[in-house]
Structure 1
């Protein structure tokens, strides 16, 4: 049995258990892997002449677009909350955001976090996760919950090992530094090997875009 609890963290790394949990969430591992791979392919077309910050931003945007295309047949739709890009399933009350992770991403023995600082939208999503988790223990099913549970499709490109590690995980806490510090669940997905020569990845400072709307004086 490869599902076990470490403090508040439930870890899925066995293939059958991963498939079962993803089925409950209305997604398939192949779709998640394909989305990340498409982002990687688009990034390989960039050169050192592109602005350094664009490499990470480009991969993020392409993964978001590919994820929406891959999950559209499964009734997932695109959603933007103040520039915060989500792929959502209204009936299941779920949403997925995309983020680059550190070297611990995809490693069941490590404790990963996002690479770039997250803003208000992520903080609010994680707080909603915490509230939903409390009610989840009192209610009979996810369908009885009011609100969306947000998951993170996190990826890390390891140029030394020639692979992209990824996981679909549910965050439960974030520090003042904008880094996710706790996960309620982590679903470890198979790594994606590559043999491309890549320039260094620069994660974007977002992509939690804060839009401050003010009335003209």
Structure 2
């Protein structure tokens, strides 16, 4: 784990109570951001420019799903190659998504997804609109942990995203990651998610960083086809 990091103390607030309403703890999201930053350190100057971002993305997805699967008995689910983790009563799913510079900041304008959503995420957002935001369906019959959901069960999920923005301060020697757990409600004209029914703002995290060679990417760049 990375030890040279800190969280802005003034930003601790009502996020823990809001997460508790969803059956979640802040430490799970703190862990996955730390693990993602640590994974970036495996990239070298001989790797492709997008290697660090790809390692980060894979680590965040893996850590989120492992924590919630082992600590809260959630189940992994991968509709159309879009990795999610689903709670035990099959009412709530969470994915990982890169946002723009408005991520983690209160007020308007709301943040947008960094890249176009793609077919899979557009479908998830459309389902969120059909299922009244904030109201979750009744639990279905118990199933074995890790079992894949049927299309009928999947259609009742409300899908949230951990949205993150990574600010690189090269001269000052640190990275700041702002994040929020948010419920998307619209895909805009340019294909990006640009409206959120609910936003749980999380504390910003900083990591000391020595920049010994140019970094070609600032976020995720994962070649996954969505269809």
TM band (smaller chain):
0.7 to 0.9
C-alpha displacement of 1:207: 6.2
1:69 to 63, 66, 71: 66
Query: TM-score w.r.t. structure 2 length?
Result: 0.77
Q: Distance in 1 between matches of 2:224 and 2:196?
A: 19
- Does 2:202 match 1:189? yes
Gaps of 5+ in 1: 1-12, 212-217
**1:55 aligns to what SS in structure 2?**
helix
Whether the 8 Å contact between 1:122 and 1:208 is mirrored in structure 2 is no
**2:225 aligns to what SS in structure 1?**
coil
Q: Distance in 2 between matches of 1:123 and 1:207?
A: 18
Q: 1:67 to 1:195 in 2, by over 3 A?
A: same
Aligned to 2:7: none
C-alpha displacement of 1:184: 0.2
**2:50 aligns to what SS in structure 1?**
helix
Whether the 8 Å contact between 1:64 and 1:85 is mirrored in structure 2 is yes
Aligned to 2:225: 209
**1:194 aligns to what SS in structure 2?**
strand
Whether the 8 Å contact between 1:93 and 1:149 is mirrored in structure 2 is yes
1:84 to 82, 89, 107: 82
Aligned to 2:183: 170
Q: 1:204 to 1:14 in 2, by over 3 A?
A: closer
1:53 to 39, 50, 53: 50
- Does 2:51 match 1:35? no
Q: Deviations over 1:60-94 (max 9, x none)?
A: 11100000111121121211112111111140511
C-alpha displacement of 1:190: 0.7
Aligned to 1:8: none
Gaps of 5+ in 2: 1-10, 140-154
- Does 2:41 match 1:44? yes
Whether the 8 Å contact between 1:84 and 1:207 is mirrored in structure 2 is no
Aligned to 2:126: 127
1:24 to 21, 34, 47: 21
Q: Distance in 2 between matches of 1:14 and 1:132?
A: 30
**2:23 aligns to what SS in structure 1?**
coil
